[in-house]
Structure 1
């Protein structure tokens, strides 16, 4: 009976991890769809600039290039460490932070694109850390205090992840406040 209960518990945890992994893959797909949309929009801008050049309206073309570059810069915060998991999850956090008035700073420096951790495990660990930081930051009432610092670096044998964020209330005990605390860390 105990063994059966343990297997049921392990299955439930594995299912939760699979669901979490699926959600992270959805975030990655969403990031790629955003890239595709940006490429499409940029193409339209180039068509307009090309027409300005054909009509010898160079000042208009130059001004439109400046406006377009500013809009792209402001709208598209992309992380590019070379590691797809880190890039997708941190980029997603930047986008969520921007949408929720959370200032997100990054310090990312990988020794190599390849890190010595399975992608699945990295998705679960990094995804949970980022989700927790965003969730806590959303609860902070003072807008200037909504801040997350994401530091990720590696050397030839280890990956280091440090995420710092403000919280609305100091917590002395580190226990999940989520429903089902057995499957949340």
Structure 2
């Protein structure tokens, strides 16, 4: 009877251990699945941003072509009637209209441009000075969603940090170059002097921000790359290097 009781206890312990192991594996699976779902949603979000921006640019071009057609007819009519003063005013108004069109091109890559135009638009609205030095191919074998996750999250973080700095001291600088299959992206921004050694977020939406940093790491790892975060007190620098990036013909 004593032996049977001992055997029952051993079996119970083994079953308990097995159940705990199963629950731990299940928990890890659910956490991983949740993370992958978040990554997928984020990639889809940036793909949507690109297509929305592309559609917006296309509409602006079509509207510009339509308006230009009518305005050129007006100018031709004024020229025929030798009304120099009104002709001068019309041309001046057209020049102002051209200046108001946001045709800033940061790089030859349309996907990167779409993301940067949106992010830098928000940065400029907060009084942040933007500097860029980008020399990358027009087409790279880099997934559109990955481009959005990488550039979008890092610029978002830089803009957020800059917003806490007094006006006049806010800046974001991007250096981005490609050579022999290697893509280098360095983003520098001003920040408050307090160091954040653990890289813990100060954003209100810290859960999403935490996912953002992890998403960046995931993208970098996907391309066998490296990423480093350097806090220099009043300046923060992120450097990411991706390998095996081929140019699309």
Length-normalised TM-score, structure 1: 0.76
Selected match of 2:164 from 139, 142, 150: 139
* Aligned match of 2:33: 7
Matches within 5 A, 1:1-185: 1-5=26-30, 6-43=32-69, 45-79=71-105, 81-110=107-136, 112-142=137-167, 144-173=168-197, 174-177=199-202, 178-180=205-207, 181-185=209-213
1:56 is paired with a residue whose SS is: coil
Which residue is 2:247 aligned to? none
For residues 82 and 90 of structure 1, do their structure 2 counterparts lie closer, same or farther at Cα, with a shift above 3 Å needed? Answer: same
The answer to which of 89-98 and 118-127 deviates more is 89-98
The 1:137/1:51 distance shift into structure 2, 3 A limit, reads: farther
Number of aligned pairs? 183
Point out the more displaced range, 40-49 or 128-137: 40-49
Show structure 1 runs of 5+ residues with no match: none
Does the 8 A contact of 1:136 with 1:167 survive in 2? Answer: yes
Give the C-alpha shift of residue 119 in structure 1: 2.1
Secondary structure at the counterpart of residue 114 of structure 1: coil
Return closer, same or farther for 1:154/1:44 CA change in 2, 3 Å cut-off. Answer: farther
Give how far 1:51 is off: 3.5
For the pair shown, the structure with the greater C-alpha radius of gyration is 2
RMSD over equivalenced CA pairs, Å = 2.9
The range that moved more, 129-138 or 11-20, is: 11-20
CA–CA distance in structure 2, aligned partners of residues 38 and 140 of structure 1:
38
1:78 is displaced (CA, Å) by 1.8
Contact 2:162 2:191 in 1 (8 A): yes
Give the SS at the match of 1:145: coil
8 Å contact kept, 1:150–1:162? yes
